[in-house]
Amino acid sequence: MPHSPSGPLEAVFLLQDNQILRELLYPEFEAILDGFIPLPDYASTSARAIYVQANHQLCITGAVFFLIGFDAKGIVDHRWNVPLQQLLASAGPGPDLGAGAIRLVCYSQCPVAWHQKNLWDPRMEPGQNTFVALAKSIRANRLGFIVNPRSKESPEPSLPVVDDEHIPVLKPLSVEDFEREQQVLQQQLHEYYTGELRDKVAQLAKEQRLRLATLNSELQSRLQAAQHEHQQRLTSYQQRMAELETANQELEERNRVLKESLDTQVKKIDGVREYFAHKLKSAQADEASQLQALQANFDMELDVRVQAATAELREMLEMREVELFYRHQNETALKEEIVSLKREAQAMVKNGGDQLLSRLVKSGISFVTFQPGIGQLSIPLDDVAAYLENTATYLAQKSGVSEPIYLAWWEHYQKPCCNALDARGHACGTAVTRIESPLEFLPGESDRCSQHQAFALQRVAERR
C-alpha cells in the first residue's frame, strides 16, 4: 500500500535474538492485529517488535520498542492494546539517526507508566546496536517505500532575479574596515561552531543517559533472576531438611517403641523365671533328680530365649543407631551447604553488579531511598549489599536504635493504636498519636492510650 508523499513512512519490525526477522508495512501489521493474518512461527510466544516512523529520505524520526504476544494459533492476543502512535506523539528524545534526535519510547523512557510493562529496551553495545541495525534495514528499503530525494518541506531554493541596473559595485575597503569585518566574521564563525558543538554534546549526553538507563534496567532484571533462583534453591534445601527431620523423628519414635518392646520382653522373661522357680520349689518335695533336670532344662531354655531376644533387639538397635548417625551427618552437610549458599548469595548481590554500580557512582549517580522516620537516605555503594540483605537492621542502625525497637516502632507507625492486652488477652485497639521518629518511640508507653499509660504508671508507683 503506497504512502502519502506528505505523511511519514510507517513500518513494524519483528526481532529474534536482537536480529530483525520480519519487516511489515503498518497496514499489514494492522491486518495481523485484526486477526486476518496469523503468524504460526510466533505461536504461543511473545515477540519483540519495533514501530518505526521515517521521512521520505529513509531517515528514522521515531521508534517504539514494544512487546506483543501470540496465542497457540499465531494470532495476536486479544488483550494486547498499546497505542503506538499516541505514545510516539508524546515521546522523549533519542539518538540522532540522520534526521536529528528521534522520538523514542522504550522501557526506560515511557511517557505513560502503565504501558511500561509492554515495552523493552534496545541494546546499545558496539557490534550489537539495535539502532544501527534498524537504520540499515530502513535504508535497504525492502518494503518498497516511495523515496523523494527532496521533500516538500525543503523545496529547492529559487534564485532571485537581479536587474543589471541594481548590481552593487564593490568599493575598495580601508585596512580598518577590512580588519573590522574580519573580526565580525570570526565572531560569527565562533558562535556558529560553538552552538553546533553544544548541540552535539547535548545529544551525546542524552544518548549516554539512555544507555545508562537501559543497562540499569538489564542489571535489575539479572539481579532479580539471580535472587529468584537462590530463593528457589534455598526453599528446596529447607524442604529437604524438613523431610530429613521428619524421618529422624520417625526413627526416634521407632527406637522408643523397640525399647518399650524390649522392656516388655524382659518382664515376660522375669515372669517365666518366677513361674519355673515356683515350679521347681513345688517339685523339690518329690524328687531331687527331677529337680536337677528341671533346673537344667529351665536354665537352658531361659538362656536360649534371653540370648535370642537380646541378639534380635541388639541388632535392631545397632541398625537404628547407624541410620541415625547417617541422618545426623546429612543434616550437618545440608546446614553447611545452606550457610555457603547464603554467603554466595550475599557475594552475588554485593559483587554481581559491582563494576556497573561503581561506574554509576563515578558518573555522579547515587542510591537514595525515602524511609518513614528517617526521610531521604543516601546509601553508599559499600552498603547496598547490607541494605538488600536485611533492610530492617540497616535502617535501625541509621535511626540510632536497636532492631527490636525499630520493628516495634514500624508496627506502631503502620497502625497507631493501643497494644495493651486485657484480662482475656485482647488488644485495646484505641487510636493513639503516631510517633514519626524511631528515636522518640518508647515501647510500652508510645503505643499505649492515656488510660493504659496511667494504669502502667500506677502499677510502677505501687511496686515502689
Query: What letter represents residue 212's amino acid?
Result: L
φ and ψ at residue 71, rounded to 5 degrees: -90, -170
For the cut 90, the answer to whether the pLDDT of residue 313 exceeds it is no
**Tens-place pLDDT, residues 111-146:** 888 888 999 988 888 778 888 899 999 999 999 888
pLDDT score at 226: 80
pLDDT score at 136: 92
Longest dimension (CA), the chain: 172
Q: Is the pTM of this model over 0.75?
A: no
Residue 302: alpha-carbon gap to chain centroid: 72
Contact between 420 and 449 (Cβ < 8 Å): yes
Under DSSP, the state recorded for 52 is: E
The answer for residues whose C-beta is within 8 angstroms of residue 230's C-beta and 6 or more apart is: 341, 344, 345, 348
Quick one: which of 407, 419, 416, 401 has its CA closest to 456?
419
Q: Domain 223-351, what fold?
A: Helix Hairpins (1.10.287)
Residue ranges of the alpha helices (H) in 141-174? none
**Tens-place pLDDT, residues 427-456:** 888 888 888 888 888 888 888 888 877 766
Q: 64 pairs with which residues across the strands?
A: 51, 105
For the cut 90, the answer to whether the pLDDT of residue 95 exceeds it is no
Contact between 63 and 102 (Cβ < 8 Å): yes
In the chain, where the domains are located:
1-149, 223-351, 367-463
